[in-house]
């Protein structure tokens, strides 16, 4: 496959009556999904969209979003996935920078779309024609643009080519053993690659797609059960909230594997996931720039022979390289670090799933790659003799205190082991004496209590005193990006310590 459209076209030809999409009482087979996507592509061309034009997509998870992904490809256009949580001004900036010719939206976003100073096409299946002829782009032409969250500066448009997307989908099928018997839940937002990659991989194997328009813990659990979901990929904050639901452990699931990605996850949360869902667990790591997967914590044969308790140690690691990814962990000069599971370096990668660069931003593109063509991820990690990497922090999140380096993930893992902690984030704030002060933001579980002194003491009993937080801020809910990741940039802003 060398074009995103080929996945839907081939599956519709091979298994036309297989159910493709399920949303509430609505079921659509693959032949109908293909015809609707072609009809939507015809409407795009009727509105003046030409090959290579950018088309915005502002939608919740749903059938319409799925069809938009394939309709854009069938029209030879480039899909610009928009974070539905962004403000109007932010969306205008992205649409302007991408040069979008048109905006696709669902009914829920029709009013907001009208404020964006761009032509709008509201997708309504009742009025969408069926059929048409695809007009396909070459494999190395852009298929999609995903704009980074912009928490540390202006958003950058990550270019993914058809080859990037198709190569990743086929590799994921092999790595995860995806098959027609799989039923995927689109619970994480489809505008984010933690979920979007499955749109193409699950289609390629003729699996079933089910949709949750907006995340809520109880609703997500309901969907897993009602649709007999076998596999999905959720960000840790979602999983943490789901396993905290009182009814979570008493439900009847059909899951074979739960994937977690988009942010690091604490081992204590992994234990709760395994106990709740009774399925296999795979930690994933990737970036928008890499389509997204770079590693999976799938066990090598020799590790699968270990006792279950020891297997958990490896499942909680960031993982070994994804199929087709060339991965190095290097020092600042680009030299490989020792594969001893102790030395820390930066993850650098290259391969057919890595972006060619940023949309209309040659300076940012040049800065992202080293002299050997490896993408510099900015993630710090160890690597062991088995080739498994384990992220210890983002470069920008390392706390430098009293001449020591503190990796925030290590401290967060300790806090997650406290029974009162629902979610947490550790970061540095300026301090005249220490340079930076290790600080934790914590949201407690419902009906749980804990004091700052208690949590600090809990950490000091388990890790070096200099690593333990010197201050704790209690919040009802931690700020998140549109994809559900905790937003440390917002937490670093001045606020009162409690």
pLDDT of amino acid 286: 94
Closest CA to 287 of 149, 187, 387, 417: 149
CB 485 within 8 A of CB 235: yes
Residues of the chain with pLDDT under 70: 149-153, 494-498
pLDDT digit string, tens, across residues 365-377 = 999 999 999 999 9
Where along the chain do its domains lie? 4-213, 215-397, 400-491
Distances (CA, A) of 385 to 194, 203, 334: 28, 36, 19
Tokens of 122: 């509201």
For 382-431, the pLDDT digits (tens) are 999 999 999 998 888 889 888 788 999 999 999 999 999 999 999 999 88
H helix or E strand, kind and range, residue 135: none
Of the candidates 484, 497, 489, the one whose C-alpha atom is nearest the C-alpha of residue 84 is 484
Same fold, 215-397 and 400-491: no
As a whole number of angstroms, the longest Cα–Cα distance in the chain is: 68
Of the candidates 94, 45, 100, 111, which has an alpha carbon nearest to the alpha carbon of residue 78? 100
- The fold adopted by the segment(s) 4-213 is Rossmann fold (3.40.50)
> The domain at 215-397 falls in which architecture?
3-Layer(aba) Sandwich (3.40)
319 in Cβ contact with 290 (< 8 Å): no
Residue 494 has a pLDDT of 60
Between 2.170.8.10, 3.30.70.20, 3.30.300.30, 3.30.565.10, what CATH number should domain 400-491 receive? 3.30.300.30
Residue 262: CB partners within 8 Å, gap ≥ 6? 188, 192, 194, 235, 236, 483, 484, 485
For residue 346, which of 386, 383, 312 has the smallest C-alpha distance? 383
If we measure between CA atoms, which residue out of 85, 88, 81, 132 comes closest to residue 104? 81
Phi, psi of 78 (to 5 degrees): -110, 120
C-alpha 75 chain-centroid distance:
26
* pLDDT for residue 201: 98
Q: What is the pLDDT of residues 194-216, one digit of tens each?
A: 999 999 999 999 999 999 999 99
The pLDDT value recorded for residue 66 is 98
CB distance 474 to 498 below 8 Å: yes
Show the tokens assigned to 348: 């650098």
Structure confidence at residue 151 (pLDDT) = 40
Task: State the CB neighbour count (10 A cutoff) for residue 29.
Answer: 16
SS3 per residue for 229-279: CCEEEECHHHHHHHHCCCCHHHCCCCCCEEEECCCCCCHHHHHHHHHHHCC
Neighbours of 487 (CB within 10 A): 15
Span 1-19, pLDDT tens digits: 789 999 999 999 999 999 9
Q: Note the pLDDT of residue 498.
A: 40
């Amino acid at each position: 496959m060398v074009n995103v459209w080929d996945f839907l076209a081939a599956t519709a030809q091979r298994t036309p009556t297989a159910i493709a999409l399920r949303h509430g009482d609505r079921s659509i087979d693959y032949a109908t999904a293909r015809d609707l996507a072609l009809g939507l592509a015809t409407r795009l061309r009727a509105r003046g969209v030409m090959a290579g034009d950018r088309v915005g997509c502002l939608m919740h998870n749903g059938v319409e979003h799925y069809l938009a992904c394939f309709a854009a490809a069938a029209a030879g256009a480039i899909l610009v996935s928009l974070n539905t949580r962004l403000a109007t001004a932010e969306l205008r900036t992205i649409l302007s920078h991408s040069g979008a010719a048109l905006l696709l939206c669902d009914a829920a976003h029709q009013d907001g779309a009208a404020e964006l100073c761009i032509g709008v096409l509201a997708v309504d299946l009742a009025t969408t024609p069926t059929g048409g002829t695809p007009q396909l782009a070459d494999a190395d032409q852009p298929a999609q643009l995903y704009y980074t969250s912009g928490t540390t500066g202006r958003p950058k448009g990550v270019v993914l080519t058809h080859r990037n997307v198709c190569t990743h989908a086929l590799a994921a099928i092999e790595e995860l053993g995806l098959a027609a018997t799989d039923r995927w839940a689109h619970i994480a937002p489809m505008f984010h690659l933690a979920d979007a990659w499955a749109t193409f991989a699950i289609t390629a194997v003729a699996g079933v797609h089910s949709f949750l328009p907006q995340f809520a813990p109880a609703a997500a659990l309901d969907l897993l059960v009602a649709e007999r979901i076998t596999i999905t990929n959720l960000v840790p904050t979602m999983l943490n909230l789901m396993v905290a639901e009182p009814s979570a452990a008493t439900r009847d699931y059909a899951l074979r594997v739960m994937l977690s990605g988009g942010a690091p996850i604490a081992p204590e949360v992994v234990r709760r996931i395994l106990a709740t869902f009774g399925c296999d667990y795979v930690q994933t790591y990737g970036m928008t720039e890499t389509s997204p997967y770079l590693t999976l914590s799938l066990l090598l044969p020799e590790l699968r022979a270990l006792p279950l308790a020891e297997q958990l140690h490896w499942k909680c690691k960031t993982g070994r390289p994804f199929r087709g990814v060339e991965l190095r962990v290097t020092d600042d000069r680009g030299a490989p670090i020792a594969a001893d599971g102790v030395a820390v370096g930066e993850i650098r990668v290259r391969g057919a799933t890595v972006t060619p660069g940023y949309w209309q931003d040659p300076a940012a593109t040049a800065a992202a790659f080293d002299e050997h063509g490896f993408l510099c991820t900015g993630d710090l990690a160890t690597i062991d003799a088995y080739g498994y990497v384990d992220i210890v922090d983002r470069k920008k999140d390392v706390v430098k205190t009293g001449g020591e380096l503190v990796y925030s993930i290590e401290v967060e893992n300790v806090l997650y082991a406290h029974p009162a902690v629902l979610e947490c984030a550790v970061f540095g704030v300026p301090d005249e004496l220490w340079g930076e002060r290790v600080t934790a933001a914590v949201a407690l579980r419902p009906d749980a209590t804990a004091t700052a002194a208690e949590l600090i003491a809990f950490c000091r009993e388990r890790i070096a005193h200099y690593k333990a937080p010197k201050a704790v801020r209690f919040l009802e809910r931690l700020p998140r990006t549109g994809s559900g990741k905790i937003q440390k940039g917002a937490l670093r802003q001045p606020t009162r310590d409690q």
